Each structure stands twice: as structure tokens, then as C-alpha cells.
Structure 1
Amino acid sequence: MKLSRRHTLLGLAASMASPAFADKGAVGTPLPFAADLAQTVENGPSALALKIKDEDKQPVDIANWLGSWTLLSFWAPWCKQCRNEMPSIARMNRQLDHKRVRLLPLAFDWRGPYFVRKFLDEINVTDLPVYMGDGENLDATLGLSRLPTTAILDPEGVLRFTIAGEAIWDDEKTLTWLNSLEI
């Protein structure tokens, strides 16, 4: 039987919708573990000037996170790679030693926190808080502008590691690394 172009495209689309592609990057290559993408930042800037608002659009002081390592996960609902990695980030967050490492997911969306929460609800990630960032302030404070990117701050709020691009966050290697960061 000769396959038509339509049948070939339908078969390709069906195979790409398969869960087997869920943790794949471009052209079916496996996504890297976040720990493997970590880049050390020497003499990193302080994040204390970072502007953050909560779900009610109230200012939040990043100093509230001092005393533990902080994963600032910069993402947006309109960013395909960000959308793909949010379930893995949520699963990671459930397995973190929160006395040692805490997650602060910082969304960037001009439509506001309602749409960010709506997206998280749509993908069944209901246990993450919604915090909103300011892109110009992010670039000015930490020199970061790519999404998704995670900035890892030490207990004093200084940038020590960055992880740029889509990654798997709930793997054993990444969890072991994060949970072993010294306070």
C-alpha cells in the first residue's frame, strides 16, 4: 500500500504527540539534566534589587528568601520551552529540602498574574506560587534576559549559578546536587 502525503503527516503528528517525546529536545534528542547545564558565576551580582510582585500585584522583597539557596526560575506562559519544563520544575520543588533550597518561580507575562495562574492550572501545576517579574529590572540587576533561565542565589542573595534553556529538573542527579548545596 502506498502512503499518501496526508497519511505520512498524520502518522508523524501522532508519533510526536506520544509521551515518549515528552522529555525530548530538538529533533527527539533527550533534554539535559539541569545539573549538567549549571554554569558557575564568579563574583556574581546581588539580586536584592530585583523587583518582584506576588499574585495580588503586591511588592515582594527578595530578602525574604535570604538564609537558604534560592532557585529563581525565570519563565513565561508564552515561552514553549518554559511551558514544557514547568511540570518538571513543580515535581522537583516537591522533592527539595526547603530548609536548604527554595524555589521562586518568576513569570514574565504582560497579561498579568491571572493568566499565569490560569496556565499553571491548565497543566495541573497547582502547588506553585505565582510571582511576577520585570524584564528590564531582571536584565539590569542580574544581566539575564533569556527564557527559560534559572538563577541560583546563595543564602546571601548573590548569583552563584545559572542554568539557561529547557532542562529536566526532577532527575536524581539534579535533586542530589541542589539538596547538597551548603548553607
Structure 2
Amino acid sequence: MSWIASVTVRKIALAAMLAAALASQAGMARAEPPQQGDMVKFVPSAEDRPAPDIPFISAEGQPIKLDSYRGKTVLVNFWATWCPPCVKELPSLERLNAEMGSPDFEVVLISIDRGGARIYEPFLEKLGIANLRSAADSKADLLRAFKAPGLPTTYLIGPDGTIRGRLVGDAEWDSAAAKELIKYYTSSS
């Protein structure tokens, strides 16, 4: 083999190794979140934007902030008793929290009903929602800070307090597609 042929073979081998390395690195890049069923409405955040630092009122009447959930992934659902799509998805949110709720994940309901707990608590009880409590944002300050376009709107907040994405409208939150999406974010956080 001539010297020129030997150099050409080395260049080809080097190019092949470089291509293999790049392909391997591309395969290691973070995959897109799984979005099927109702989860096609989920819009991942394009940037790491922190969740707003606006207080809302716990079911016990105490002011709290989303910062108090740091360290866990939180599904924050804004709803109201007068919103039919909100009411439709409440049972699935309760089932999701019953199945996946843990020290690492929690569903947080935030009602924007003006009467706060005196309005939403009897309503949830009448619906049979017994294992998922709500909080109140009676003046919709937190809802506006999130720039939510309407109700229901649900945000997925990572353990670091950044918004991972949102879904506008109702969804079957206890579906396999929703659980897969949430597992994607809880395992990659």
C-alpha cells in the first residue's frame, strides 16, 4: 500500500470514528417529553423560569408560597367551582395524587373562587374529593403572575422551583400518558 493510500485509509477511519462519537453523543441528548392523549396539550417550557413567588392561602387559612414545595415535583392546578372543565378533571387529579403522591411528587389544587375555603371545601366534599385538598388564590394574584390564559390551567414545577411546562384545559391526569409525562420530569429532575 502506498503512503497516499495509507493516509486516505487513516482519514476515512478517523472520520468514521468521529461520526460514531457524534452519533453516540446525540443519542445521549435529553429526549423530548412523551406527549400522547391529552398530554399533547402540554407545552414544555422553553427556558428555566422560576415559579412566581406570590403567596396563596392554604386550606388551614395560612399564607404559603410555592417555595415551600422545593425539593419535590409539583403539579399545580388552577381551578374554580363554577368552571365545568375544572370540575370534570378533579377526580382524575385526586386519583393521580393517590397513585403517585410521594415525598417527590404532589398535586396542588389552587381555587380562584372568591369565597375561598368556605366555597370550595363543601364543593369538593359533595364531589367526593376527600384525599386532595385545595388552597385559595381568591384574588387570582398567583394565577395572573403565572400568566395563565384561563381555567383550568395546570403547571408542572420541578424540585428546583422552575416551571417545566403547562397544560391549558382539562385532561385525564390519571391516564397512562399523564403518568408517563410526570415520570419523565420526576426522573430527569
TM-score, normalised by the number of residues in structure 1: 0.76
The within-5 A match list for 1:31-180 is 33-133=37-137, 134-139=139-144, 141-180=145-184
CA contact (8 A) 1:96 1:179 kept: no
Taking structure 1 as reference, are residues 64 and 34 closer, same or farther at Cα in structure 2, changes over 3 Å only?
farther
Counterpart for residue 20 of structure 1? none
Taking structure 1 as reference, are residues 180 and 41 closer, same or farther at Cα in structure 2, changes over 3 Å only?
closer
Taking structure 1 as reference, are residues 106 and 96 closer, same or farther at Cα in structure 2, changes over 3 Å only?
same
Distance in 2 of aligned mates of 1:107 and 1:123:
15
Shift of 1:102: 1.3
Distance in 1 of aligned mates of 2:176 and 2:68:
28
Distance in 1 of aligned mates of 2:49 and 2:55:
15
Amino acid at match of 1:57: G
Taking structure 1 as reference, are residues 68 and 175 closer, same or farther at Cα in structure 2, changes over 3 Å only?
same
Greater RCO structure (CA 8 Å; 6+ sep):
1
Amino acid at match of 1:136: D
Shift of 1:163: 0.5
Amino acid at match of 1:84: K
CA contact (8 A) 2:86 2:151 kept: yes
CA contact (8 A) 2:149 2:168 kept: no
Distance in 2 of aligned mates of 1:63 and 1:135:
18
CA-to-partner distance for each residue in 1:102-161, whole Å, 9 max, x for gaps? 11111110122121011110110011112011413321x221141001011111111121
User: Where do 4+ consecutive residues of structure 1 move more than 6 Å?
Assistant: none
Question: Aligned residues, how many?
Answer: 151
Distance in 1 of aligned mates of 2:183 and 2:102:
9
In structure 2, the gaps of 5 or more residues are 1-35
CA contact (8 A) 1:33 1:169 kept: no
Shift of 1:76: 0.6
RMSD between aligned alpha carbons?
1.7
- SS of match in other structure, 1:40: strand
- SS of match in other structure, 1:131: strand
